[in-house]
Chains A and B, each alone.
Chain A
Amino acid sequence: MSCTLEEKKQAVIEDFSLYDEWLDKYEYLIELGKNLDPYPEELKTDDHLIKGCQSRVWLDYWLQDNRLYFRADSDAIITKGIISLLIGVYSGRTPEEIAADDFGFVADIGLRDNLSPTRANGLVSMIETIRTVAENAR
């Protein structure tokens, strides 16, 4: 890994600061969602499903050389875009780094609405799952 977790997060925050308009932010997220690495259909099973109120999220992960790798998918494209951000930042980091992180950067880029626990969407549970996976892998 050439850059730190903090640098990765800063890069995402800077990317987002280019967009003043909400709709432009969403355009960008939709683009990210469309370009997310494909997730294997056979892994869209109940044990990979993170059930939310509205959008469904599937998450798969593995540990390799003490680094956690994630791949995920959603039936909603904006959620997929945010997944893409999360995977870009957290996939390939060590469990210790991830477990110690506060995941606050998603709120920093103005997507707190999408992450409010009352929204009960798959994304909130996804972050919880990433955190739990990291803690268990320490």
Chain B
Amino acid sequence: MNVNDIRIQFPVLGSKAYGKPLVYLDNAATSQRPLPVIEEQARLAKTANANIHRAVHYLADKATDAFESARDYVKEYLNAASREEIVFTSGTTASINLVAFSFGEAFVGEGDEIIVSCAEHHSNIVPWQMLCQRKKAHLKVLDIQENGCLQVENLEKLISQRTKIVAITHISNVLGIVNPVQEIIRICHNHGVPVLVDGAQGIVHSHVDVQSLDCDFYAFSGHKVFAATGTGVLYGKKKWLNAMPPYMGGGEMIETVRFSGTTYAPLPAKFEAGTQNFNVIPTLIPALSFHRACLENMEILDYQKNIREYVYDRLLEDKRITLFGQPESLQDKIPLFSFSVEGVHHEDLALILDKMGIATRSGQMCAEPLMDRLGVTGLLRVSFTWYNTLEEAEYLINSLYRAIEMLS
């Protein structure tokens, strides 16, 4: 398998933007979908559209099978201990909000503390701030070093008797640095503190084995790993999920409902209130199976490594460019690059690159506290995935130089 074998599976990659071949480098925001994903969604809409679980008819059985097969698949994919530990949500944000609310209701009180890092996406900050407001708890922040890596050595000092949970990103969506989550989890567990891992980028660039990581929660979105939108996953250890109250009420999450009191369904239905996204959740199967095939293919991995090194070197050697997120070893960096250019606004760069056919991301990337920490108003980000080519990387660098010339 090589990059061309991959590209032909993605219909959009052959298209043009403003007359130029489309170069899609905003993969960290959402990935494009391969044909098996597109076809599965269409197949379900055509042949298995019925509300799942309750109805006793043919079509509902088909829809339920597809939905629950996705749960089995994700359970295997993450190596979770049981299928009850896989909860479907709309996305990473919903998964984290669920934990912040339900875990918070059960375990967080006045004066308690929650730790996040300063490199978090807003989705792993704001739900915890809301929880802290609700419970009069405190949010503590783990800082980064100058190169963008977390100050893991300071984590132990931040943890106190009042620390109830640590919520940390697996891979920063701005810095592209793989955090040592295994070590973080070990430190936290030594103090009896559970850990939620925001895996929105982590799932895209690593083999995630939740039992080997020993994380308490792992949240990710299918749409960043080639599935359709609205395919969120929350992995949670059974002991926590069982001890947490439901997040939303209604639909399938009940056992019996009386005006004198309602009892809740067992896991995972307890956390899946309302009609589920049954037409798209099953796209997780072809999406993750495509993704796994790439992650396990040496030729593809080597190719992506070349792209990563090429872009990294080109950005570093240009004195006008400041690249944020430079870990000691390139092993800890995914092919995601956020940078600023001296005297040039990131929005201007993004607008011009767009007209050259290149989709990038500019702005704060939903990480305003990190932007403040880095002392910038925003950055330009390019993020690569399996279908991107070395030629596209070269075109990016040449176009970037041209855009800088135009703007300087």
Contacts and interface: CB of A to CB of B under 8 A. Distances in A.
Interface of A: 22-23, 26-27, 30, 53-56, 75-79, 114, 121
Contact of B347 (A22, A23, A54): A54
Chain A interface main SS type: helix
B205 interface: no
Contacts of A76: 345, 347-348
B352 interface: yes
Interface in B17-57: 18
B351 A114 contact: yes
Interface string B306-335: 000000000000000000000000000000
Interface residues of B, number: 17
A75 B406 contact: no
A78 B351 contact: yes
Interface of B: 18, 344-348, 351-352, 355-356, 362-364, 377-378, 406-407
A76 B348 CA distance: 6
B347 A78 contact: yes
B407 A77 contact: yes
B329 to A, nearest CB: 33
Given A54-B346, A55-B345, A26 B351 contact: yes
B355 A22 contact: yes
A52 B407 CA distance: 21
Given A53-B363, A54-B362, A54-B378, A79 B347 contact: yes
Contacts of B352: 23, 26, 78
Nearest to A25: B355
A26 B406 contact: yes
A134 B407 CA distance: 33
Nearest to A27: B406
A76 B343 CA distance: 10
A23 B354 CA distance: 10
Nearest to B350: A54
Going nearest first, the 7 A-B pairs with the smallest beta carbon separation are A76-B345, A22-B355, A54-B347, A54-B363, A76-B347, A55-B347, A78-B348
